[in-house]
Structure 1
Amino acid sequence: MTGQLNTSGSPHIPARFSVTKVMGWVLIALIPAIFALLFYFGIGLIVQITLATLAGYLFEWWSLTWRHQPLKPFLTDLTVPVTAVLFALCLSPIAPWYVAVVGMFFAIVVAKHLYGGLGNNIFNPAMVAFATILVAFPQSMSLWLPPTGLTQFGELQTIDWKHTLSIIFVGIQNSDLAVDAVTAATPLTALKTGLQQGFSQSEIVQGMVFGDFGGLGWEWIANWLFLGGLVLLYKRIITWHVPAAVLMTTVAISTPFYLFNADIYMSPQQHIFSGGIMLAAFFIATDPTSGCSSHRGKLIFGAGVAILTVLIRNFGAYPDGVAFAVLLMNLSAPLIDRLTIPKPYGKKGHP
């Protein structure tokens, strides 16, 4: 009597995680940071996430229909919500409604489907969306709500959910609130503006938007992003290479600048706890499609993101250069992989 062994196609190794499960864990890991952002900056974040998600699904459905692709597998794989949440976390909570819609158009239609859909995109969709709106709507991105710690002591006026919705859907110019009374600069913007005005960093960080070693509120948000990243590492959704390279290189490259002149260059802790470095380290630069495959490649990729971010922050026109750094490294990823992926045993030379 002979038995029959049913196997799948080569290489006969089942995938450890489906796309849906991976995206689900990413969303779970982001929950603590989302609650922290809600606490410090209000309900506007939920509105931005909702707008981005709805717009993302609309553009995903339209693109799949246009490309004659099946709808159910791609509409249920959770890639759209992950892109929407990552993009919304970078938005001002009171950004106009059309900012989220335009950003998601570029994320889903341009960065994803024009390159062939999931798995074929060479750029991180969320960062394409964010870079686009930074260039297209700089004024909207400069208006941030003050963190809760400031409104509690009366330095700036707090706004309720009705005023938040009014600002998002009608516009702050048509609101009965004064712009200067309800908005505050982000820590990185305050640093960039203050340095351009001739103030030293030691004077700037005495401002109300700064905490002990980073931006007020942003310090805790970065901590929760770090803990969420540890969850992804524990579940083996990501490897340690990119996060370690991003964080360690940020410290290594920013420390010499700070030691050279602490009055004009940010300290390493300001770099890590005042902007998007922590988000990039665990949730953006670890994207397997637009990043590198080999372990050495991931280390180089993460280091490149950190170096470019620090250089853009120190010498560029934008306060936070994470999005542009990631996109530039996305362009370099194929070459990095080609140079770092181990050759098969017995192979000689290049093809």
Structure 2
Amino acid sequence: MNLKRNSALLGAVAVGALTLAACGSDNNAGSVDVDASASAATCEGKENLSAAGSSAQKNAMDNFVSTYIAVCSEKGKTVNVAYNPSGSGDGRTQFIASQIDFAGSDSAIKAEQAGQAAERCAGNPAWNLPLVFGPVALAYNLEGVDDLVLDAETAAKIFNGTVNKWNDPAIAALNEGVELPDSNITPIVRSDSSGTTDNFQQYLETASKGAWTTGAGSDFTGGVGEGAKGSAGVAQAVNGSPGAITYVEKSFADQNGLSIARIDNGSGPVELNDETAGKAIDGAAFASTGGGDLTLDLSSIFGSTEEGSYPLVLATYEIVCSAGYDADTSAAVKSFLTSAANEGQNGLAEQGYVPLPDSFKQKLTESIEAIA
């Protein structure tokens, strides 16, 4: 959705995360209940796929691999996918170097790296296929205030220090009838480079009506706040600091018992849940104009004003060759991704991710099928 820890996106939005061991083993298969007859996965091609990259999608990938192993086992096939959550940048580098079959990344492969990937793919473009989405919460610790509303403009002012009191008129205007304390706001931000930070700042750039002027990037640019490392670190810091607020994947906010602000995207306050985050994904536009590449126009998500749409959602991609694999690798990549995009989505919500809406799943499946 670094979702650097770039991954955090989802980071884990369920990133659970800092584990660097490769996932995917036959030990996972027994615990997964699947209906293999309903799966479109062929389980053809080479038995062992390799991948690396975003740690944000690490827990989702565990789920995909376990499900795929179970499906293929019922079909009499032995398969495995070894995924190393080594970070998005490393995943892209390994993919370009032909060291892995596909990469996980919190950002699309582009510019010079896209050209290098095309060379690796025998002159064919690499495609960015968004497979894992995770919502980011504005999580806070404010005694007596369990239902807080913020918008992008006010959030930008909190994280650049322009608004520094909880009863500031900008916050009060969004929370009529709520008794807000006359106390300081303590923004907690990522001290490490993070895709969550990058996407949060892109959201502020897109939706804050010019209130965010310091740019995006994987390092926090707002100039205020206290730093903490990793998604777990910022969530724990807020939990221990009355008056604090942070941006963090929903699963970490839930784990620490933090309150989560509703976001007013211009059409009224929206609660963070699967339905509202899924609505934002369903309305996403694509930056690419044709072919099977599904690089997202993130402004279509971050800037959504659709009623009931939660706009702060991170995406992570699988980067694949559109063509140029050998036949066995192509068949295996297509089979695994087909399973991941369909039955592999079951159980993602419990891990803090957002399962793909049906219409988005259809677009993704068409691209997977088009891999040559």
TM bracket (short chain)? under 0.3
Instruction: Select the structure that is richer in strand.
Output: 2
Q: Structure 1 length as normaliser, TM-score?
A: 0.28
Instruction: Select the structure that is richer in helix.
Output: 1
Q: Structure 2 length as normaliser, TM-score?
A: 0.27
Q: Which has the larger radius of gyration?
A: 1
